[in-house]
Structure 1
Amino acid sequence: MSDATSHDGDAPGWNAIDRWVGAHFPTATPHQFTSRHPYELDKPSPLPAVTVFETRSPAGWLYVSYGLSELFEKSSDDAAISGFGYELTLRVPVAPHGLEGPSDTPPVWPLRLFQSLGHHALSQGGGFDSGHFLNLGAPMVPPNSDGPRPEDCALTGLVCLPDPALGKIETVHGSLLFLRLFGVTADELEALEDVKLGSLVACLAELEGLAVTDPFRASFLDDPEKAKIIRRYKLGIEL
């Protein structure tokens, strides 16, 4: 993938995403990584682009996919929904000094994660929705990347939730939900997978209000106070 800040052609869906996310992060200069092989499933980067916005409080990065909704022209039969009806987002903090390179450059490992998930979605005809759990079977940070070493990353699963900041928008091609990916550990995945969507959103909001995925964190179940929150929601008790 290459880092770019513009694209050619008439792309009303693409422009709608740019405007909406840019309005939420007006002072950030986006880093846009475009694919040389968009939509080619035999290539490692089938998503047309991933744009990364710098965030503050906490300092870090917001990754947004481009290509699971209809970016260029309307091709699906459902006028109410753009493409699969969503784009993926992921928010990560700046890592401890020296582990992700320069602080003004977004880490590359989430790009690889996005392209892998994008390949799955494009090949399966969707595949993700609010409340879905994904067991990656391995640490979410791949080996030989600019993130933590896999053995130092306890997050091996993902939860899909409505993005708490970006929500849902209407485009000329239909509606589009920004679907936030939140990294979880194996024991968190097991504890939360039976919690209903509304309660799941509320639970994770208590645990991590901004839905920031920190690949260096330990399990919430190792923290006595946060473990109480998970147990409460697992029992169906909401305050």
Structure 2
Amino acid sequence: MTDTDEAPGWDAIDLALNAWYEGITPHHVGYQPPAAFSANLQGCSAYPAADHWHYVTYGLSELYHPGPNDDPEWSGWGFELTFRPARRPDEVQAPGWPFGVLNQLAKHVNTNKVLLEPGHRIDLGQPITGHPHVPDAPATGLTVFALTVDPQLGTIDTPHGKVVLLQAVGVTAQEKAVMLESSTAAVLEELAARNPLLITDPARAS
């Protein structure tokens, strides 16, 4: 996005984040080829929180100008993705692997036209971090993403319609099995009792 672009959808996401991170400049990346010519995201930002990084995507909702046939109630796919990996006390630079992971999830949505919703699960069958194929990705036993509404950002209104900030939470294959017997929400509620923001710590199941 350049200074001359009008992106009211982007601005609405930034406004929601500003309520939590006022005065903080996030680490932002863009993707090549850009979203207009690929299934990639337009971009992704990572904000430093006390004990984790808060990643937020741009591009699954309509950032610029909706088309004449777009649903006015929902912007684009109706959601953006968030992710909260744990942050070491000495970590001053947002790790790179979540940027890649979130873009892969977005490409899955855009390529296969998959509408993600709270309660859905994405079983990668391998470490969610991309280890060992991604250079800075830590080893982990977390192999599944469970989706829920971001506990801070929730659902926002934009000039193009509503956008759910949908948080990806890393869980184990065993936790997925329990979800199948009960529900995704029930297991995440149990995890949230001791981890309210549902921070994903790869070391939890390394």
Q: Write the letter of the residue equivalent to 1:20.
A: A
Does 197-206 or 81-90 show the bigger shift?
Answer: 197-206
Match of 1:82 among 68, 75, 99: 75
Instruction: Report the aligned-residue RMSD.
Output: 2.0
- 1:3-82 alignment, distance < 5 Å: 8-39=4-35, 40-41=37-38, 46-56=40-50, 58=51, 60-75=52-67, 76-82=69-75
Deviation, structure 1 residue 28: 2.3
Query: Match of 1:106?
Result: 94
- 1:200-211 alignment, distance < 5 Å: 200-211=187-198
1:49-81 superposed Cα distances (whole Å, 9 cap, x missing partner): 00111111x2x2100010000000112531100
Q: How many residues align?
A: 202
* Structure 1: segments with no counterpart, 5+ residues: 98-102, 220-239
CA 1:139–1:74: 2 relative to 1, 3 Å: same
- 1:186-225 alignment, distance < 5 Å: 186-196=173-183, 198-218=185-205
Q: Write the letter of the residue equivalent to 1:145.
A: P
Deviation, structure 1 residue 7: 5.5
Query: Match of 1:176?
Result: 163
CA 1:92–1:83: 2 relative to 1, 3 Å: same
Give me the identity figure in percent.
35
CA distance, structure 2, for counterparts of residue 8 and residue 207 of structure 1: 45
8 Å Cα contact 1:52/1:62 also seen in 2: yes
TM-score, normalised with respect to structure 1: 0.78
Give the match's secondary structure for 1:92. Answer: coil
Greater C-alpha Rg = 1
Q: Write the letter of the residue equivalent to 2:73.
A: A
Does 111-120 or 123-132 show the bigger shift?
Answer: 123-132
Deviation, structure 1 residue 27: 4.0
CA distance, structure 2, for counterparts of residue 74 and residue 194 of structure 1: 40
Q: Specify which structure has the bigger relative contact order, considering alpha-carbon pairs within 8 angstroms and separated by 6 or more residues.
A: 2
Give the match's secondary structure for 2:85. Answer: strand
CA 1:137–1:96: 2 relative to 1, 3 Å: farther
8 Å Cα contact 2:179/2:186 also seen in 1: no
